[in-house]
Every structure is written in structure tokens, then in C-alpha cells.
Amino acid sequence: MTRAGESILVKLATKFCSIIIFIVLMLLPWSLPSHAQGGGQLKFENLTRKDGVSGSEVRNVIQDEQGRIWFGTRFNGVNVYDGYGIEVYTHDPNDPRSLAGDPAFSVYKDRRGTIWVATLGAGLSKFNPETESFTTYRHDPDDPASIWDDSVQLVFEDRDKFYPQLFLNIALT
């Protein structure tokens, strides 16, 4: 077989494989189970202020170890939905064990199942499920081990370490 013939064969085989991959990807959603782990049909509910949701602008959503859904809101703290009702956690200036601040920019569950709430300008809050309260971590200029800034907007971890990420708005002139 000539080089030109081999080249045409390679192109046809590549095109054929591409078509097969496209078909498989298109059919994949219909081949997946259409039910949740419990074997029942998926059920979606719209939650509104009438249901107890504290804010209309949700920043992110996670699910904890007990199956509860946590909604971080832009201005109204954290909403926790257990399937029956909504518990709202907000900042109370008279309670040091309340959420650090109401702009809950990010809610994160670490590999141990601990819930962390990143607030904009108020530090980082760690949820204690036994007491239904929060421990707040804030920047302390005299403590180099404290978080770098109180404007925490994202939390993540890798294999070795937990990272509260700080995104600073910097104007370049």
C-alpha cells in the first residue's frame, strides 16, 4: 500500500472513531440510571422565601454528611435544608459563636466532613455540629499563623493541606 493510501486509511479510521465517540457521548445520558441511590425517582423542589430561605442570591451549594443541603447566600448568611425545613445561620454581633459574617461567599466541606464558611470581610467560620455553633478565624497582625486577611472568598484543600483563599481587588494605575 502506498503512503497516500495509508494516509487515507488513517484519516478514515480517525473519522470513524470520532463518530463512534460522539454517538457514545450523545447516548450516555440516557444509559445512566434515572434514580437516586435509594432506588426512587429524583425529586426536585423549589425553595423560596415562603419556605424560609433567607436570601435570593445563592453563592454556592454543598451537601453535608447527614444529607443536609447548605446554601451560602450573598447577604443573608447560610441556609441549611434537611428535607423538611430550613435552618438559617447568620451573624449576631452579640454572639461570638454565630457565623462570622452574613456574606457567605463560599461553603465548603473538607475531607473530614467539617463545614467551613468563607465570609467577605469577616473571616472564616468552622461549623461545630454538636453545639450548632461556629468558631471564627480572623486575621491577627500579631499572629503569623492567623489567616492572611478577613476577606476569604473560597476554601479548598489538596492532599496535604487546607487552604482558605483570599482574592484581593487590586487596582492597577
C-alpha cell at 45: 423542589
**pLDDT confidence bin for 117, thresholds 50/70/90:** very high
CA distance 126 to 145: 17
Q: What is the pLDDT of residue 75?
A: 86
Domain 49-166 sits in CATH 2.130.10.10: yes
Band (pLDDT 50/70/90 cuts) for residue 171 is very low
Predicted TM-score (pTM) of the model is: 0.67
Short-list 70, 80, 169, CA closest to 121: 169
Question: Tell me: the pLDDT tens digits for 144-169?
Answer: 888 888 888 777 776 665 555 444 33
Average pLDDT value for residue range 109-117: 88
Give the whole-number percent of the chain exceeding pLDDT 90: 23
Mean of pLDDT values over 121-142: 91
* For residues 20-46, average pLDDT: 59
Other C-beta atoms lying within 10 Å of the C-beta of residue 166: 16
Model pLDDT, residue 104 = 87
* pLDDT over 80 at 23, yes or no: no
Q: Sketch the domain layout of the chain as residue ranges.
A: 1-33, 49-166
Integer angstrom CA distances of residue 32 from 22, 23, 38, 93: 16, 15, 15, 48
pLDDT in tens, 47-100: 888 888 887 788 888 899 999 999 888 888 999 999 889 999 999 999 999 999
